[in-house]
């Protein structure tokens, strides 16, 4: 009896998958997912149905994260390439360098998928290592980078965001092993000459296994600065002593706020959290929203919403107090924003006329949405959010939620069932696989 029930459940689930897929195929029109094959050095090679605004890198990432419960075990991946991805489209082959997209923002290296694409991820063949005074975060370890045949020192320096500060240009060198032996030669080069002139004789072609060392001057001390912008008398860069200079000192040093300054809503942006821990965010936030896929736009929006690297502080107290208790010790590259007093409310998202509207005391969020021409058909009226100007907190929109000048009213898109269907289908596939396994095990036991 149990076996009969399990088989019946399995057939129902499979039929449900097919029925809903067929319904989507008939109703989706231009929103139909594209069929893309991702093969090669990925954990789960195969056919994937993805939205049209999916980038090649996202398809590869998906093929390395989704667990195929019906076809275990997964592929064993050995050094997959990120710089020689083959995109086979319309009987043509294009070689893509995803690492260049991630480090240099070369958007042409990571296009959107097209229906029928075949994405081949080959294993990487050659690598070089670089360490020392470069701008890429390295945690005291050598940075391992895939090497493309014909690349020179300057190409690798571009991938690590260039040279750091205080380099000892004449003592930079490469260690190159000789053949298959443990012997190596040391090749010295001038890093600054290469940066100034890529055609310099020092800019030699690299070989597999080369180790590049960018030396820093002995006893070099970094010069640290912060930037203050907005409604202050003398905006600009100011030198600081790391671990000593405070926010209140800089507020006074720049001449103080102007009459239009809103100290209560000013903030400090600290480089290092989102920009270093999340390099993909640092790249995506540089693009126009028109160049971002839906998933990328949501990711950037969420990262901004969380404001992980914004430090909110009572600037009014810091500026007016002689010895403020909650002063902030500044770090190198901190950016201080002293905002202007706001007299408007921002309405964004799925409305007819998104933009800024004059603040009217006592009006709720519905008033401002009406000013923006009302919502459009794809708006989700049940998920409207208010982003508070002072704290950045996202709160549910309610008729009793008080709106203040500077607040943002965000009307999100209503997600169709098809958006959630891939996740539901993964769950159904997992349950189906589990049911199949139980049936097989039960048969073996009997």
CATH number at residue 83: 3.10.560.10
Taking only the tens place, the pLDDT of each residue in 130-174 is 999 898 876 667 899 999 999 999 999 999 989 988 899 888 999
Please check whether residues 255 and 318 belong to one and the same domain. Answer: yes
Residue at 422 is within a domain: no
User: What's the pLDDT at 33?
Assistant: 87
Same domain (yes/no): 169, 230? no
User: Does 21 map to a domain?
Assistant: yes
Check whether 282 has a pLDDT greater than 70.
Answer: no
Candidates 256, 259, 296, 258; CA nearest to 278 is 296
pLDDT at 389: 75
Q: Of 287, 314, 338, which one is at a domain's C-terminal end?
A: 338
pLDDT higher than threshold 80 for residue 289? no
Q: How confident is the model at residue 21 (pLDDT cuts 50, 70, 90)?
A: very low
If asked whether residues 334 and 235 sit together in one domain, one would say yes
- Mapped onto helix, strand or coil, the DSSP state of residue 368 is helix
Q: Are residues 239 and 319 in the same domain?
A: yes
Which sign, positive or negative, has the C-alpha torsion 231, 233, 235, 241? negative
Q: Are residues 295 and 356 in the same domain?
A: no
More confident residue, 388 or 347: 347
3-class secondary-structure state, position 424? helix
Kindly report, residue by residue over 77-122, the tens digit of the pLDDT: 668 999 999 999 999 999 999 999 988 889 999 999 999 999 999 9
State mean pLDDT over 184-190.
Answer: 95
Domain of 268, in residue numbers: 224-338
pLDDT > 90 in the chain, percent: 42
Number of domains in the chain: 5
Please state whether the peptide bond connecting residue 73 to the residue before it is cis, i.e. omega within 30 degrees of 0: yes
Query: What pLDDT does residue 28 have?
Result: 42
Residue position matching structure tokens 């010895």 = 323
Cis ω before 69 (30° cut-off from 0): no
Answer yes or no: are the C-beta atoms of 24 and 421 closer than 8 Å: yes
* Any domain includes 442: no
**H/E element holding 192?**
helix 191-196
Q: Are 209 and 147 in contact (CB under 8 A)?
A: no
Within a domain: 437: no
What is the helix (H) or strand (E) element at residue 240, kind and residue range? strand 236-240
The yes-or-no verdict on residue 36 having pLDDT over 80 is: yes
The pLDDT of residue 7: 55
User: Is residue 191 domain-shared with residue 177, that is, in the same domain?
Assistant: yes
Does residue 294 carry a pLDDT above 70? no
The residue among 24, 37, 129, 145 whose CA lies nearest residue 81 is: 145
Q: How far apart are alpha carbons 370 and 56 in whole angstroms? A: 40
Same domain as 289, residue 189 = no
Flag whether pLDDT at 43 surpasses 70.
Answer: yes
Q: Is residue 78 domain-shared with residue 52, that is, in the same domain?
A: yes
- Looking at the fold, whether 114 and 131 belong to one and the same domain comes out as no
What's the pLDDT score for residue 77?
A: 61
425 lies in some domain: no
What lies within 8 Å, CB to CB, of 135 at 6+ separation is 160, 161, 162, 163, 164
Please identify, among 290, 311, 338, the residue that sits at the C-terminal boundary of a domain: 338
Residue from 239, 158, 145, 237 nearest 191 by CA: 158
| Residue at which a domain ends, from 214, 244, 272 | 214
User: How many residues does the structure list for the chain?
Assistant: 446
Q: Is residue 180 part of a domain?
A: yes
pLDDT at residue 194 greater than cutoff 70: yes
Mean pLDDT of 258-274: 78
| pLDDT exceeds cutoff 60 at 4 | no
Average pLDDT over residues 296-317: 67
pLDDT value of position 30: 44
Calculate the CA dihedral of residues 250, 254, 255, 258 and round it to 10 degrees. -100
- Has residue 123 got a pLDDT over 70? yes
C-alpha neighbours within 13 Å on the C-beta side of residue 157: 21
Confidence of residue 266 (pLDDT cuts 50, 70, 90): confident
Count of helix runs (H) and strand runs (E) in the chain: 12, 20
Order of all β-strands in the sheet with 172-177: 143-146, 127-132, 211-214, 172-177, 184-189
Whether residue 329 is found in the same domain as residue 366? no
Tell me whether residue 242 is in a domain. Answer: yes
Same domain, 141 and 169: yes
pLDDT at 75: 56
- Please give the pLDDT value at position 70: 46
pLDDT for position 434: 59
* 294 inside domain: yes
228 and 334 fall within a common domain: yes
pLDDT of amino acid 29: 41
For 237: left if phi > 0, alpha if psi spans -120 to 50, otherwise beta; the answer is beta
Q: Which residue has the tokens 């994260």?
A: 65
Per mean pLDDT, which range of 173-177, 216-220, 278-282, 369-373 is the poorest?
278-282
DSSP state of 76: P
- pLDDT higher than 90, residue 205: yes
Rounded distance between C-alpha atoms, residue 341 and residue 262, angstroms: 5
């Amino acid at each position: 009896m149990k076996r009969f029930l399990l088989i019946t459940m399995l057939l129902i689930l499979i039929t449900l998958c097919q029925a809903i897929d067929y319904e989507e195929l008939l109703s989706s029109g231009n929103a139909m997912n594209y069929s893309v094959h991702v093969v090669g050095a990925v954990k789960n090679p195969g056919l994937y149905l993805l939205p049209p605004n999916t980038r090649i890198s996202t398809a590869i990432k998906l093929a390395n994260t989704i667990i195929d419960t019906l076809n275990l075990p997964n592929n064993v991946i050995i050094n997959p390439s990120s710089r020689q991805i083959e995109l086979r489209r319309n009987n043509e082959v294009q070689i893509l360098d995803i690492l260049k997209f991630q480090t240099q923002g070369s958007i042409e290296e990571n296009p959107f998928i097209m229906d029928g694409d075949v994405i081949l991820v080959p294993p990487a063949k050659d690598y070089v290592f670089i360490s020392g005074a470069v701008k890429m975060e390295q945690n005291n370890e050598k940075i391992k980078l895939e090497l493309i045949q014909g690349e020179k020192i300057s190409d690798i320096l571009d991938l690590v965001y260039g040279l750091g500060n205080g380099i000892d240009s004449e003592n930079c060198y490469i260690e190159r092993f000789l053949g298959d032996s443990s012997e190596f030669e040391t090749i010295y080069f001038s890093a600054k000459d290469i940066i100034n002139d890529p055609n310099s004789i020092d800019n030699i072609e690299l070989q597999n296994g080369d180790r590049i060392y960018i030396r820093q001057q002995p006893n070099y001390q970094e010069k640290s600065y912060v930037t203050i912008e907005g409604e202050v008398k003398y905006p600009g860069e100011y030198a600081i002593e790391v671990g000593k200079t405070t926010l209140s000192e800089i507020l006074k040093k720049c001449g103080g706020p102007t009459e239009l300054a809103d100290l209560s809503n000013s903030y400090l942006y600290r480089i290092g959290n989102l920009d270093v821990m999340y390099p993909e965010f640092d790249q995506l936030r540089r693009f126009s929203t028109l160049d971002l896929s839906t998933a990328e736009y949501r990711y950037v929006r969420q990262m901004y919403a969380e404001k992980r690297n914004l430090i909110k502080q009572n600037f009014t107290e810091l500026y007016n107090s002689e010895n403020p208790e909650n002063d902030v010790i500044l770090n190198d590259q901190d950016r201080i924003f002293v905002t202007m007093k706001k007299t408007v409310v921002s309405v964004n998202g799925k409305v007819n006329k998104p933009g800024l509207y004059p603040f009217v005391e006592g009006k709720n969020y519905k008033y401002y949405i009406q000013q923006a021409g009302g919502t459009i058909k794809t708006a989700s009226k049940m998920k409207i959010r208010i982003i508070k100007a002072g704290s950045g907190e996202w709160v549910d929109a309610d008729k009793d939620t008080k709106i203040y000048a500077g607040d943002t009213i965000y009307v999100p898109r209503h997600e169709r069932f098809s958006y959630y269907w891939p996740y539901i289908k993964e769950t159904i596939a997992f349950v189906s696989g589990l049911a199949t396994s139980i049936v097989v095990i039960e048969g073996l036991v009997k």
